[in-house]
Structure 1
Amino acid sequence: MSKLSEEIEDADFRVAPPAEQLEDSESQPLRTLSQDASEEVVQDFAASHGLTHELDVLQKAAALLQEDVVLEHTPGVSPSELRALRREITHKWQQPRTLYFTIFVCSLGAIEQGWAQTGMNGANLYLPASLGIDLGSTHDSFVLGLINSGIYLANAILGSWLAEPVNNRIGRKGAIFSAIALCLVGNLGSALSWSWPVLLIFRIILGTGLGLNASTVSVFAVESAPAYIRGGLAVSWQMFTAFGIFLGFLANVTFYDYGPDVVWRLQLAAPLIPTIPLLMAIWLCPESPAWHIKRGRYDLAFASLSQLRNTKLQAACELYANFLSQRRHSKTLGSSPQSYLGKLTSLFTVARNRHAVLASYTVMLSQQLCGINIIAFYSSSIFESSGFSALAALWASVVFGLVNFLGAFPAIFTMDKFGRRRLLLWTLPFMALVMAFASLTFSLPKGTAQLIILAGLIYLFCALYSPGVGPVPVPYSAEIYPSAVREVGMALAISTASTWATILSVTFPSLLAGLGEQRSFGLYAALNVLAWFLCWTFVRETKAVELERMDMVFTSSPSSFVADQWSEGPKTWISRRRRGEGWQEVRQEDAPG
């Protein structure tokens, strides 16, 4: 047995309390190692992973991870390194260009996701007549719903589940490239389709690419970002999905005068525009450090982190803390499953993973229950049926897309300030109320006033969605799973959202025909209330929790978590105060003592 293994075996590992309890305690070390033992461990770590040339910076990182460390008194830390560590508190958004470039590249994938959705929104006004499915029969309504939901259907049953094997074989960058290539084929094929079965096939190809893309891009962004701004950076997925929705609506208006047999083809082809730069730019990004770590390549992970952090010392702190956490995870939970089936099974058989699945399923389900995708798909049809002209309905949808995009900006700063759970619990009640008011507008006399009120309430609903249940689910799901099962966990999350999006998209035309606009909107108002209750019950806070410490959040059972919520009282349900926002205090919670 190596010296490293002996020191780990002799270490006094202590599992820290759940993240909810972290707010009321001063320090929660994941493990206890003596100063001498830590020195020997870091030397063996460097030698075992080809990092002996970085031993000096790794030793400083190990010293900084000690409990009760004082930055100014840490041996060997230079003034420039000390300044960089302090600026994580005072200037946390001053990060390397490479990090922001990586997030930007991820954002291009999100634009494709949103644009692909709203291309169909405008095409719904022309496509049925062109393909002979505009007779108003039950069959035609079902076919239209199936075409609209085709991307989500493929996403749910195929695209998202390809994420684990594709990522495992060719990495995050290779998976994103493959996904976008499929999207390119799907967009072009959809635009050239001559019948609805052919269109459905290419929508399925597009959905497969979008599923693989969504399951990979968010994980890539989460694994690249530092913990203290991870939420704000990961918001880029929702923000630029919203931007893609806006561009899609704008393109729908731009192509308005091209003729009914051509316009829908242009609307379905347009989403390929952001795929071209993404196919090239993805290779300029560093590979995910966590992906290298999963393969035991800490040397390559350090190289990636050094590009994504301001100093090598910050990269070394993150790398070494991750190494210690991986070792603790292996000791307490055993070796990680290697097969796809084993990883999938562990999501439900390992308690910590099962608790994460429940939380992830809840946020993804809640995003669909709120009704936003129904508006995104059918807003033009809803506006037109309410009295708007076809052109006016398209312009009203453009405004909807713009509100959706601009409304996501506050989440950049609130995700890491207020937390994921609080944003959900703050916004969902107001979304339910606004949706209820929107349903009442259909009782008003038809006219300009009714149209203005309806449009205003839809925009207000969107503005409430954008900083809450809009941006939270995807980054939340990407960050809560252990590294060993992160791709499978994220695949399950994306599949969950896509499955429910499929169900809602297929059934909404029939629902609208059966219940009418007023009762349909009223139903979604009630579903927002249900979403709030589910989030209160199952969603746990992950604000400022480093990925290697996420086990602490999901240790307790759901029943214990709910009991804690009740015992703390209503004031704490949507309002929490976390101790220690600074670098030193956050790092000390992970420190080997």
Structure 2
Amino acid sequence: MSDPKNTNDSSSTHSYPHSNVHVHNEKDVKSAEPITHHEHAPSPSPTPSPGDHVDYTPEDRDARLAARATLQNALHGISKVQLIKEADEFCDAHGLPEHKDTFRKGALLAQRPKDWNVIDELNAEEKAAIEFEHKHKWRMSRDLLWVVGACAMGAAVQGWDQTGSNGANLGFPQEFGINRGLDEPGGAHDQWILGLVNAIPYLSAPIIGCYSSDPLNNLFGRRGAIFISAIILIATPIAMAFTHTWQELLIVRIFFGIGIGLKGSTIPIFSAEVAPTVVRGALVMMWQLWTTVGIFIGFAANAIVRNSGDITWRLQIGSSFIPAVPLAIMVWFCPESPRWYMRKGRMPEAFRSMRKLRKHDVQAARDLFYAWVQWEAEKKVIGDRSMFKRFSDLFTVPRIRRATLAASVLHAGQDLCGINTIAFYSSTIFVDGGASNVDALYASLGFGALNFVFTWPAVFTIDTFGRRTLNLFFFPLMAVSLLAAGMAFYIEEQRIRTGIVALFIYIYTIFYSIGEGPIIFTYSAEVFPLAHRELGQAFPVSINYFVNFLLSLWFPFQLKQFGGPGTFGFYTGTNMVAFCLAFLFMRETKQLTLEELDQVFSVPTSVYINYQFKKWLPWAFKRYLLFNRQAKLEPLFYEDKDIKA
């Protein structure tokens, strides 16, 4: 939002229709900030909460305007006549003249999405369709369900690979001669090699895979990029099963990582762009849910082939190609992202695709027209920028920089919380805790089952409780669980020690599955503007993979050198670091359109942090520690209905 000290700037200004962006001069494009109202609308005077209007002095009002963003519809304040005219011009300009009536209704609905009952232009059938959408948000179109299924298969690939490597860690080190302990000559070398083989996909993923998503998405679309990643993820696991040295396995896993990075950067974006706002969080979160499915089935496959002799580890590590096969088939028949078509100027195809993804034409027109309004505003401010310039925007444009920071913190938090390391090495951890190899595989299967089962509650709460609330609530609980698991290693009785270690790892897994786990890919897929969405997703995902690489590389040595207590104590501390970072920089995004998130990230970081300490913490103390149900939290953002002119 505009800095108050610049509000009287006498330099020339440029305001773009529907953009919510105010630019003092062309040199200030990079620092352009969303403003709090549409250029056609009267200046708002914010109020503390719905139904609780308070009179403020002009100084109070100006101060509050400088410190708050208004979650205002991009079409706010436009007259009906003007809005219908713009809808007609949109249809004429983009080859959709036969759909003028539909887009007129869609534009009116986009302006007042919650007031469909009072829009006279909508007929009874159309009003019923909108009402059905709000009352039955899970009753989606067949094509949208197909897209969700394809994206689910892509997530399962990643989970299955982690478990395949997990089980294979009990076999391939012996076959390749890298199984010496730290107390043996060359033992430290072997532990670092083992860590490198496991971790290397998460080095090639951020360096090559994630950043290849931008040009490949640009050339082939979301579907094409996902299909390419599926082919890579079919070929490389099979090749891993036929390697004969650790060097060969290492090289194949480098290529495997490229497919992982490309898929991980594209699928959440695809999900976010096709999902309706009311269930976007839940649908994008299917990435995490089906990652847990892949983890669970992978652990089950490990247990099934446990007695296959010398080829056991080959079957375990090679089996992750299985979900990539239906991924390649399913994505071929998915509709392309309407927003990708729109970005390419192929609006008739965008509308056809959106019609497949929504149950009624007026819903499709509403969502496409609203996305186009914001896209036009972005183009006027940002222009036609190269990949390098768009990448630099992630760190130089304030609104985008804040999104980059929030998403990066959240992705790094997944590694800092320790879950990826446990997914890779749970069998090793259980063996170190006193379990046999077979018992360790079954204990890991329990870890996978809990991860899957307890992700389901997040499906139904991520769009109600919100991303930030779930994340912050469960981080401290995860830290306590890991600390208890580490302390359990001091128990001398082997059977009791194994059971207690497993118990607290299971409790930790439950907390992770409801909190941090489902949120990260949902969040980063939705917080960036359309022009920066591929690179915006790629950067935090690359951080996720790179930190995962470092921790996975170090873990075998760490566990041997510091034992269970030291290792789990380390992750207890990093959990709390992740909690603090999320508290300071993560902003809530629930039930907002992808376009409305511009206002969420318009508030300067210093203002946001100040709000957390001065408003949120005192409220949380009164509400949850003093059990004062009358305590009210002054909102940081206001909606149109909370504002009176």
Distance 1:67 1:172, change over 3 A: closer
Distance 1:444 1:17, change over 3 A: farther
Which residue among 129, 134, 140 is the counterpart of 2:179?
A: 134
In the TM superposition, what is the alpha-carbon distance from 1:322 to its structure 2 partner? 1.2
Is the CA contact 1:362–1:538 (under 8 Å) kept in the aligned structure 2? yes
| Partner of residue 291, structure 2 | 241
Distance 1:572 1:364, change over 3 A: farther
Q: Aligned ranges for residues 492-507 of structure 1 at < 5 Å?
A: 492-507=539-554
In the TM superposition, what is the alpha-carbon distance from 1:285 to its structure 2 partner? 0.8
Distance 1:69 1:374, change over 3 A: closer
Q: TM-score, normalised by structure 2?
A: 0.85
Secondary structure of the residue aligned to 1:548 is coil
Is the CA contact 1:13–1:32 (under 8 Å) kept in the aligned structure 2? no
CA RMSD after TM alignment? 2.4
Which residue among 280, 283, 297 is the counterpart of 2:332?
A: 283
Amino acid paired to 1:104: G
Which residue among 203, 218, 237 is the counterpart of 1:168?
A: 218
| Partner of residue 179, structure 1 | 229
In the TM superposition, what is the alpha-carbon distance from 1:228 to its structure 2 partner? 0.8
Distance 1:577 1:274, change over 3 A: farther
| Partner of residue 256, structure 1 | 306
- C-alpha distance in structure 2 between counterparts of 1:494 and 1:10, whole Å: 34
| Partner of residue 551, structure 1 | 598
Q: Which moved more, 1:450-459 or 1:361-370?
A: 450-459
In the TM superposition, what is the alpha-carbon distance from 1:429 to its structure 2 partner? 0.7
Which residue among 33, 46, 53 is the counterpart of 2:91?
A: 46
* Count of aligned pairs: 574
Q: Aligned ranges for residues 509-524 of structure 1 at < 5 Å?
A: 509-524=556-571
- C-alpha distance in structure 2 between counterparts of 1:63 and 1:224, whole Å: 21
- C-alpha distance in structure 1 between counterparts of 2:634 and 2:102, whole Å: 30
In the TM superposition, what is the alpha-carbon distance from 1:80 to its structure 2 partner? 2.0
Secondary structure of the residue aligned to 2:200 is helix
Q: Aligned ranges for residues 452-491 of structure 1 at < 5 Å?
A: 452-491=499-538
| Partner of residue 362, structure 1 | 409
- C-alpha distance in structure 1 between counterparts of 2:471 and 2:265, whole Å: 22
- C-alpha distance in structure 2 between counterparts of 1:589 and 1:313, whole Å: 24
| Partner of residue 202, structure 1 | 252
**Residues 1:100 and 2:150 are matched in the alignment:** no
| Partner of residue 378, structure 2 | 329
In the TM superposition, what is the alpha-carbon distance from 1:28 to its structure 2 partner? 2.3
Which residue among 419, 422, 437 is the counterpart of 1:372?
A: 419
Is the CA contact 1:420–1:543 (under 8 Å) kept in the aligned structure 2? yes
In the TM superposition, what is the alpha-carbon distance from 1:270 to its structure 2 partner? 0.5
Amino acid paired to 1:232: A
**Residues 1:443 and 2:490 are matched in the alignment:** yes
Is the CA contact 1:428–1:528 (under 8 Å) kept in the aligned structure 2? yes
- C-alpha distance in structure 2 between counterparts of 1:508 and 1:9, whole Å: 52
- C-alpha distance in structure 1 between counterparts of 2:16 and 2:558, whole Å: 60
**Residues 1:405 and 2:452 are matched in the alignment:** yes
Distance 1:254 1:11, change over 3 A: closer
In the TM superposition, what is the alpha-carbon distance from 1:164 to its structure 2 partner? 0.4
1:77-131 Cα offsets, whole Å, 9 max, x none, are 1222111211233211111121111101100011111101110100000101111
- C-alpha distance in structure 1 between counterparts of 2:17 and 2:482, whole Å: 58
**Residues 1:562 and 2:609 are matched in the alignment:** yes
In the TM superposition, what is the alpha-carbon distance from 1:549 to its structure 2 partner? 1.3
- C-alpha distance in structure 2 between counterparts of 1:37 and 1:23, whole Å: 32
- C-alpha distance in structure 2 between counterparts of 1:527 and 1:13, whole Å: 39
**Residues 1:434 and 2:481 are matched in the alignment:** yes
Is the CA contact 2:19–2:374 (under 8 Å) kept in the aligned structure 1? no
Is the CA contact 1:306–1:312 (under 8 Å) kept in the aligned structure 2? yes
Secondary structure of the residue aligned to 1:541 is coil
Q: Aligned ranges for residues 374-389 of structure 1 at < 5 Å?
A: 374-389=421-436
Structure 2 gaps of 5+ residues are 1-14, 22-33, 38-45, 52-70, 182-186, 624-631
Secondary structure of the residue aligned to 1:125 is coil
- C-alpha distance in structure 1 between counterparts of 2:194 and 2:79, whole Å: 66
Is the CA contact 1:298–1:319 (under 8 Å) kept in the aligned structure 2? no
Secondary structure of the residue aligned to 1:65 is helix
Q: Aligned ranges for residues 18-97 of structure 1 at < 5 Å?
A: 24=49, 28-30=72-74, 31-66=76-111, 70-97=115-142
Is the CA contact 1:336–1:484 (under 8 Å) kept in the aligned structure 2? no
**Structure with the largest fraction of helix:** 1
- C-alpha distance in structure 1 between counterparts of 2:641 and 2:218, whole Å: 31
| Partner of residue 309, structure 1 | 358
In the TM superposition, what is the alpha-carbon distance from 1:72 to its structure 2 partner? 3.0
Is the CA contact 1:231–1:416 (under 8 Å) kept in the aligned structure 2? yes
In the TM superposition, what is the alpha-carbon distance from 1:251 to its structure 2 partner? 0.9
| Partner of residue 3, structure 2 | none
1:519-574 Cα offsets, whole Å, 9 max, x none, are 11011111111111110000000001101111111111211100111221425569
Distance 1:10 1:348, change over 3 A: closer
- C-alpha distance in structure 2 between counterparts of 1:95 and 1:558, whole Å: 37
Is the CA contact 1:431–1:528 (under 8 Å) kept in the aligned structure 2? yes
Distance 1:96 1:456, change over 3 A: same
| Partner of residue 230, structure 1 | 280
- C-alpha distance in structure 2 between counterparts of 1:410 and 1:571, whole Å: 28
- C-alpha distance in structure 2 between counterparts of 1:339 and 1:139, whole Å: 44
Is the CA contact 1:255–1:263 (under 8 Å) kept in the aligned structure 2? yes
Q: Which moved more, 1:568-577 or 1:267-276?
A: 568-577
- C-alpha distance in structure 2 between counterparts of 1:361 and 1:13, whole Å: 25
- C-alpha distance in structure 1 between counterparts of 2:440 and 2:160, whole Å: 17
Is the CA contact 2:615–2:633 (under 8 Å) kept in the aligned structure 1? no
Amino acid paired to 1:101: W
Is the CA contact 1:29–1:589 (under 8 Å) kept in the aligned structure 2? no
**Residues 1:344 and 2:391 are matched in the alignment:** yes
Identity of aligned residues (%): 37
- C-alpha distance in structure 2 between counterparts of 1:440 and 1:371, whole Å: 16
Distance 1:306 1:253, change over 3 A: same
Amino acid paired to 2:230: I
In the TM superposition, what is the alpha-carbon distance from 1:268 to its structure 2 partner? 1.3
Secondary structure of the residue aligned to 1:287 is coil
In the TM superposition, what is the alpha-carbon distance from 1:493 to its structure 2 partner? 1.4
Distance 1:156 1:572, change over 3 A: farther
Is the CA contact 2:103–2:366 (under 8 Å) kept in the aligned structure 1? yes
Is the CA contact 1:190–1:199 (under 8 Å) kept in the aligned structure 2? yes
Is the CA contact 2:402–2:605 (under 8 Å) kept in the aligned structure 1? yes
1:378-430 Cα offsets, whole Å, 9 max, x none, are 11011111111110000000010010111110111110010000000110010
Secondary structure of the residue aligned to 2:244 is coil
